[in-house]
Amino acid sequence: MPETTSAPCAPEDVRRIACIGAGVIGGGWVAHFLARGYDVTAWDPAADAEDKLRRLVAAAWPALEQIGLAEGATQDRLTIAPTLAEAVADADFVQESAPEKLELKRSLLAELAAATRPGVVIASSTSGYPMTDMQTAAEDAGRLVVGHPFNPPYLIPLVEVVGGEQTDPEAVAWASRFYDVAGKSVITMDRELPGFIANRLQEALWREALHMVANGEASVEDIDASITEGPGLRWAFMGPCLTFALAGGEGGMAHMLDHFGPSLKSPWTRLEAPELDRELRDAMVDGCREAAGDRTYADLVAARDQGVIDVLRATGRLGSTR
Amino acid sequence: MPETTSAPCAPEDVRRIACIGAGVIGGGWVAHFLARGYDVTAWDPAADAEDKLRRLVAAAWPALEQIGLAEGATQDRLTIAPTLAEAVADADFVQESAPEKLELKRSLLAELAAATRPGVVIASSTSGYPMTDMQTAAEDAGRLVVGHPFNPPYLIPLVEVVGGEQTDPEAVAWASRFYDVAGKSVITMDRELPGFIANRLQEALWREALHMVANGEASVEDIDASITEGPGLRWAFMGPCLTFALAGGEGGMAHMLDHFGPSLKSPWTRLEAPELDRELRDAMVDGCREAAGDRTYADLVAARDQGVIDVLRATGRLGSTR
């Protein structure tokens, strides 16, 4: 039974955001919210978290300047809180990005729900757990939602928003509106689905890729090139459905399905995930190391960020009102 | 037992190309080869084929001019042959792009092998049939290879090259080198795999998308947005493997697999293709119609083409030597 949420402010009036967990995803959220002009308070239990976080934000900043900062946006508006309670005390919105462990998420969300002002919406960055399973230990669970971003959250627009059984639908609506105001592209789901939408899609592709590598049918390089030199060039601005509709020529999706429908029965993908044994693991690790060549992690991140910016600009998604 | 092929000219010396079948893919190949400065002779049994083909090439030409035409490239170098035999008579290379029906491909390739000068390599655009199954009726089958493009062939660089059991490995090497010279990005496979590489990957994603639509879990719009606003922005320039390696933070692919490996067992994708019944078919057709809105097929093609060009330019893949 959903509890009723009465958010203390409208999505448009959010000023202070608490980011709980400051790893790759949590830190990416911090960078995004700072760039959009919010005050951000972060908390992370790791001893070296502050140092790492400030480096992540500083590394992201040139990219964010290129996209365009909101008025008043500055890295100086980041505060590191010594405790979880202090981090969320004044927050108008809380983004949780702890490691992907169900028990940890469950107890952390309970702790957050207890420490955060009544009605403030708390979103989890979980990449797969249903909120129904994560909110079981929390009181006031009606304001707990999933707000699942993509890496890096300061550049990739997508956020998937969905509630659990105990979540107040108003909290879902509030979160969706808030993310929209905060410059994200929002998909609001009306039901829980393990992995949500985008991860299920990329996970299907990923499983097939792992099978191919496991069977020696394709190398990591082949797999990456087969996407970046092929379908990936279209998917940056036109999704798989509309892309396949165009493959049907002037007959569109109808022709495509009527013509190629039978090939769905062809043995073109495998079904269950492969055993992730040592051999497969190492093949993937080595293949990626080879693909990276002389480039450091920072080089690759910078290249990825620049690439996304360029693609966003090239496809007309920079400088729009959204 | 592979037959020995002795190509009448080196891949660099190809001047005349025969394109057999002039639909969306065959016509796209015609546009590509014309833009790269080749003489192209096309043949298609449909009554209105010439008219459609010339319109397709004319529609593609502004995009090709923007990318940069090869010296001497002109639409005037397209000839329509009245018969298959006349189309291939002088060809240095043959690209077959007939409809995706095994029996048709089999007899057409036999006919082509009989009509084409000895040693000339004949490539099929098939999107899934193994050459071993298509070359059974042909004499001189050693020069029959798969050269699988992506739509539109005049913009998407990828071509997957693979031979069948009877194919001479030299014909595979010749075709790979030729496509490279002709401006494509080539993946040469050393074994047959139904669907090759990129199609297996996108088919896995596609099956999952169809399941979601069939179950009412996501709309066509959600699915397309989940890619274009999310992973698709990265896949235009960085493949899924390296992308996931970055998700492992500084620990790279090793950390990613060690940390997220167990989630491979999560129910994040489904396995077999869904029944493509009327309801699902119509939901897909309607969803795509809705996504297209007021835009005509030609509008969508123009938008797609412009998008690919912009992405190619944005990611530094225009103006390179390749």
Task: Judge whether residue B265 has pLDDT over 70.
Answer: no
> From the candidates A101, A207, A215, A229, which should be mutated to test the interface with B, based on the most B CB atoms within 10 A?
A229
pLDDT score at A308: 54
CATH of the domain at A51: 3.40.50.720
Res. A2: pLDDT tops 50 = no
**What pLDDT sits at residue A74?**
97
Contact flag B259-A230 (C-beta cutoff 8 Å): no
**Residue A50, domain extent:** 11-188
The CATH number of the domain where B227 resides is what? 1.10.1040.10
Residue A5 lies in a domain: no
Determine whether the interchain pair A237/B307 forms a contact, defined as Cβ–Cβ distance below 8 Å. Answer: yes
Mean pLDDT in residue range B259-267: 66
- Is residue A287 over pLDDT 80? no
pLDDT digits over B272-322, tens only? 444 445 555 555 455 545 655 776 655 655 555 555 566 656 756 455 433
Whether residue A52 lies within 8 A of chain B, CB to CB, comes out as: no
pLDDT above 90 as % of chain A: 50
Look at residue B257 and tell me whether its pLDDT is greater than 80: no
Q: Kindly state whether residues B79 and B52 are assigned to the same domain.
A: yes
Q: Which residues of A touch B200 (CB under 8 A)?
A: 208, 212, 268-269
Partner B, chain A 57-96, Cβ-Cβ below 8 Å: none
The radius of gyration of chain A's CA atoms, rounded to the nearest angstrom, is: 21
Is A209 within a domain?
Answer: yes
**B262 and B209 in one domain?**
yes
B194–A228: do the CB atoms touch at under 8 Å?
no
Last residue of a domain, one of B188, B207, B235: B188
- Tell me, yes or no, whether A92 and A178 share the same domain: yes
> Does B142 lie in the same domain as B22?
yes
Q: What residue has token string 């992308």?
A: B243
Q: Are residues B215 and B163 in the same domain?
A: no
Residue of higher predicted confidence among A273 and B248: B248
Q: How many CB pairs under 8 A join A and B?
A: 361
Q: At residue B136, does pLDDT exceed 90?
A: yes
Look at residue A319 and tell me if it is in a domain: no
Quickly count helices (H) and strands (E) in chain A. Answer: 13, 8
Tell me if B275 is assigned to some domain. Answer: yes
- If one counts the domains in chain B, the total is 2
pLDDT tens digits along B171-227: 999 999 999 999 999 999 999 988 899 988 988 898 888 878 777 788 888 888 899
Residue of A81, A94, A17 whose CA lies nearest to A44: A81
Confidence at residue B273, expressed as pLDDT on a 0 to 100 scale: 43
End-to-end distance of chain A based on CA atoms, in angstroms?
34
pLDDT at position B162 is 97
Of B160, B229, B257, the CB nearest to A157: B229
Q: Domain check: are A78 and A184 in the same one?
A: yes
B210 touches chain A (CB under 8 A): yes
Interface test mutation site (partner A, options B101, B133, B212, B253, max chain A beta carbons within 10 A): B253
Percent of chain B with pLDDT over 70: 77
Q: Look at A312 and B233 and tell me if their CB atoms are within 8 Å.
A: yes
Residues A57 and A119 occupy one common structural domain: yes
Instruction: Give the chain B residue whose CA is nearest to the CA of A306.
Output: B315
- Does any domain span residue A303? yes
Percent with pLDDT over 70 in chain A? 77
Q: Which of B188, B217, B243 corresponds to the end of one domain? A: B188
Q: Is residue B165 part of a domain?
A: yes
Give the type of residue at A137: A
Confidence check: pLDDT of B246 > 90: no
Task: Report A:7-26 residues touching B (Cβ under 8 A).
Answer: 23-24
Between residues B268 and B245, the one the model is more confident about = B245
* Structural domain includes residue A173: yes
Q: Which of residues 277-306 of A touch B (CB under 8 A)?
A: 281, 284-285, 287-289, 291-292, 297, 300-301, 303-304
- Identify the pLDDT of residue B2: 45
Rounded-to-integer distance, Cα B68 and Cα B71, Å: 9
User: E-assigned strands of chain A?
Assistant: 16-20, 39-43, 78-80, 93-96, 121-124, 144-149, 158-163, 185-188
- pLDDT, position A310: 66
Q: How close A229 comes to chain B (CA, Å)? A: 5
In B126-277, alpha helices (H) = 131-134, 169-181, 198-214, 220-228, 231-235, 240-247, 252-260
CB contact under 8 A, A261 and B249: no
Q: Which amino acid is at A159?
A: V
What is the DSSP secondary structure assignment for residue A69, as one 8-state letter?
P
The verdict on B219 and B293 lying in the same domain is yes
pLDDT at position A41 over 80: yes
Tokens of B47: 């009554």
pLDDT score at B309: 60
pLDDT category at A307 given cuts 50, 70, 90 is low
Q: Which of B188, B220, B249 is the last residue of a domain?
A: B188
Residue A133 has pLDDT above 70, yes or no: yes
